[in-house]
Every structure is written in structure tokens, then in C-alpha cells.
Amino acid sequence: MSIDVFSVPTLCQTASADDVARLQDNLFKDYRKSIRPVENQHDAVQVNISFFIIMIHDLAWKDQFLHWNKSQYNNLTEILVSRNDVWTPDLLVENTAYGYRELGIDGMYINLDYTGLMIWEPGVVMQTICEVDIAKYPFDHQFCGIRVMSWMHTNRSLNVVVERDTVDVQNYYPNGEWDLASTSVSAFSPDDGSYNHGEILPGAEAVLRLRRRPVYYIISTILPISMLSLLNVLVFLLPTSTGEKMTLAVTVLLSFTVFMSVVNEVMPKTSNSVSILAVYLTMLLSLSGLSVASTVLVLYFHHRNRSRGNRYQDRTNEIHTSRLYRINRPENNNRQKGLSKNGMKPSTERLLDDYMDIADSSENFSLNEKDSCCKAIRKMIKRRTSSCQCHTSSSTFADRLDRGMFLVVTILTVLSTVVAMILLVYW
């Protein structure tokens, strides 16, 4: 909050209250505030305007009907008159939260000197509306324009002159989020002109160029997003056998979703421009979703034959525990061919040889039973061979897919990050 202290014009010490009252009676005896204060009504009233950083500093014009000889009133050079008693320019402020708003407050006083010069410092606080461009958020620059213009007077009857081409920032208090980069003041008239052909509505426009301070947003938003993009790439470097690939991929995807909601909350709501940061975050979110989908495929191809291998192991155990094999086991017949020293089960190929030997030497089983057992063993060996080949091919494809997606996501992440930073900082 800022408080302005205005200096109130003081009356001449030699003038008395009677002198002031007598002067006002003589000045306003035939005065009409509805008439423009020029003796020749074909002339325009010239109003000088200057801007202060937190207010319209002053308006000045000369009233040709209100002047006096100061020697007749004990050297009284200036007085204060009510705004309701004198003519004032019908200047309105545009781009406010209330549309157009009139300057000043009824009953305010205006300083009047003996030459007819009137100085008015409008005392009113307004909220202005500025169009926001968030394309380079949080490295954006905003231009906020405040327009003061006449509603009914044209340049034929009123002429607005800009005294200074900049805004006075002497008492400006710095803001924590915005820096005041520059200011400018210039004459302004609306494009559609006035109701009279060939005439314009006079006015002035003060433009403030504001620059957002990006340090807070860099620490709280941009750096975490960059770290998450690195984690998004590391998903493809995590070995499949660890069982944590999907956990990391989904966690990164949820983190991007949270940051997307945070950025949308702090960003101004407008559809006139699209934030480069929001587009960049959406790109990373899409890459994270792609990493989740590719991780699902990698895990699928890596483990697709595990269930088939489990069925093969169950079938092998079934053959090893069959009645034919248990009765005619090589160790029971003192035949150690195909058995290891530690008593482990033989391989499937050795198992087939044992079955063939057992089938040839066994007299306890019929020929049909022997043939069926041998056929089952041959079929199982064939399945094992094709299963191993398919499992090797699937694992190789999963590894190649993981490496390929790593290269694709890394290139897209680095490229999108570089392009986004260049557009945000240098464009």
C-alpha cells in the first residue's frame, strides 16, 4: 500500500476571508460551467496531461472566464474551487474493470490562479484490465495500457496535450513478481473516430511494460520438470529382470500429470495465446505415456514364454515320475548311463535314450504302452527345441525394442528441451 501526500495550495497571507468571498462572488456571478471556458467558442480548450506511476498526476487548462486582478484582492493569486462549480473536461479512463470510468470524485477541489490556470489532481483508485500474453511464461513481458479520452468533445473543441512522453516513477515501489521495464505516454484517439466526420476524439495513453521475475518459477517448476524428463529416459536403462521398470515408468507419468495441473493453476487463464511451457510439458507427458506403453510391450515379449516353459517343466517331471521310468530307472538296473554323480535327473535327450533302453529291455509293459511313451518323449523334445528358439527370439526382440525406444525418447526429450528453452529465453 502506498500513501501519497499532496501539497495543498496556500492562500496569500495578506488576503482575508472577506477578500476570498468577494472574489468568488464576482467570478461566479455570471459564470456557467456548461460553457467551455474560452471566449471564442470556435477555439479548442487545451488540456495538458501527465501521468504518475500510481495515478494521473494532474490535468491543467486555462479558463478564460475565471481570472482577476490580484492587486484588487490584496495580492490574492490562487484559490480552491469545487469541481462541481467549474467546467471540467469530460475525460474517461478506458480499460478498467468497470468499462469506462470518469476521472475524479464529485466535490473535489481544483486549484485556480489569477490568470485562469486550473490544475486538477484527480483522486480516484481504479483497477485496469490488461491483455495478457502467456506464450513465453514465465519469461514473459506484458504491456498494460491506460487510456484517457474524451467522451463527447472532439479535437475541434478539446485538445489533449501530453506534457511528458514517460510516466513519472519517482515514488514507484518495486513489486515482488514484476519489474517495471519501461513506460511511455503518447496521444491516443480511437480507430473508429468520432460522430463527426473528419474529427477525432482526443485522448492520451500510458503504456507500462512489465517483466515477470522468473527465478521462482525456474526453481519450482522448470528444474523439477527437467529432472523428471531425465528419469523418463532412465526407464529404458533399467534391466527387465529387476521387475521395477513399470513402477518407475508409471511414477514418472503421474509426476508429469501433477506438474501439469500445478502449471495450469498458476498460469493466467486466456485462450489468445498458448504457453510454450505448457506445450513442452505436454510433449514430455506424451513421451512418458509412450515409455509406459513400450515398457508393457518389452515386458510382454520378455516373459511371453515363461508360462510355456513352466508347462514343459511340469511335463518333464511327469515323465520322470511315470511308472515305466520308476520301475526301470537306470540306477535300479545298475545302469548309470546318462546320470550325473550327484544323482540329478538326466536331460531330456538322455531321458529319451533311457526310455528306449528301458523299452527294449522291459518285459513288464506291452508294446503299445512302450510306443506311446516314446512318442510322448519325442514330442516333448520337439516342443522344447521350438520353445527355446521362440524364447530366445522374443527376448532379443524385447531388448532391441528397449534400446530403440531409449534412443527415440532421448532424442525427442533433448530436442524438445533445447527448442523450448530457446523459444522461452531468446525468442
Confirm whether 88 is domain-assigned: yes
The CATH number of residue 151's host domain is 2.70.170.10
- Which amino acid makes up residue 60? A
Give the cell for residue 175.
513489486
Main-chain dihedrals φ then ψ at residue 244, nearest 5 degrees: -115, 5
Confirm whether 398 is domain-assigned: yes
Determine the pLDDT at residue 127: 72
Give yes or no: residues 137 and 273 share one domain. Answer: no
Give yes or no: residues 157 and 250 share one domain. Answer: no
Give yes or no: residues 234 and 87 share one domain. Answer: no
Query: Strand 158-162 relative to strand 45-52: parallel, antiparallel, unpaired?
Result: parallel
Would you say how long the chain is, in residues?
427
Helix, strand, coil % (nearest 5) of the chain?
45, 20, 40
Give yes or no: residues 326 and 401 share one domain. Answer: yes
Q: Where are the beta strands (DSSP E) in 3-139?
A: 45-52, 55-62, 78-82, 91-96, 99-102, 109-113, 117-120
Determine the pLDDT at residue 358: 54
Determine the pLDDT at residue 7: 34
Give yes or no: residues 103 and 251 share one domain. Answer: no
Prediction pTM value: 0.63
Give yes or no: residues 263 and 124 share one domain. Answer: no
Q: How far apart are the first and last CA of the chain?
A: 35
Give yes or no: residues 140 and 86 share one domain. Answer: yes
Give the cell for residue 348.
531330456
Main-chain dihedrals φ then ψ at residue 398, nearest 5 degrees: -65, -40
For the chain of 427 residues, list the mean pLDDT of each consecutive stretch of 10: 34 66 86 88 87 73 90 89 87 68 75 92 73 85 85 84 86 83 86 67 87 88 86 84 84 88 79 82 89 86 62 53 49 44 48 55 52 60 53 72 87 90 84
CA–chain centroid gap for 279, Å, is 9
Among 194, 213, 232, identify where a domain stops.
213
Give yes or no: residues 195 and 307 share one domain. Answer: no
Confirm whether 2 is domain-assigned: no
Determine the pLDDT at residue 4: 36
Give yes or no: residues 242 and 272 share one domain. Answer: yes
Spatial contact of 235 and 245, defined as CB atoms under 8 Å apart: yes
Tens-digit pLDDT profile for residues 237-290: 888 777 788 888 898 889 888 888 888 887 777 667 788 888 888 898 899 888
Indicate the number of domains in the chain: 2
Give the cell for residue 191.
480507430
Among 213, 235, 260, identify where a domain stops.
213
C-alpha angle 63-68-71 in degrees, rounded to nearest 5? 150
Confirm whether 6 is domain-assigned: no
Phi-psi domain of 118 (left: phi exceeds 0; alpha: psi -120 through 50; beta: other) = beta
List CB contacts of 101: < 8 A, sequence separation 6 or more.
92, 93, 124, 126
Give yes or no: residues 414 and 281 share one domain. Answer: yes
Residue 78: HSE in the Cβ half-sphere, 13 Å Cα cutoff: 13
In whole angstroms, give the CA distance from residue 206 to residue 192: 20
In whole angstroms, give the CA distance from residue 101 to residue 96: 7
Confirm whether 12 is domain-assigned: no
Confirm whether 266 is domain-assigned: yes
Give yes or no: residues 165 and 219 share one domain. Answer: no
Spatial contact of 148 and 92, defined as CB atoms under 8 Å apart: yes
Helix orientation angle between 367-425 and 306-320, rounded to the nearest 10 degrees: 160
Give yes or no: residues 188 and 307 share one domain. Answer: no
Confirm whether 140 is domain-assigned: yes
Confirm whether 352 is domain-assigned: yes
Its domain, for residue 308, covers 214-427
Among 213, 238, 259, identify where a domain stops.
213
Give the cell for residue 139.
519469461
Give the cell for residue 426.
531468446
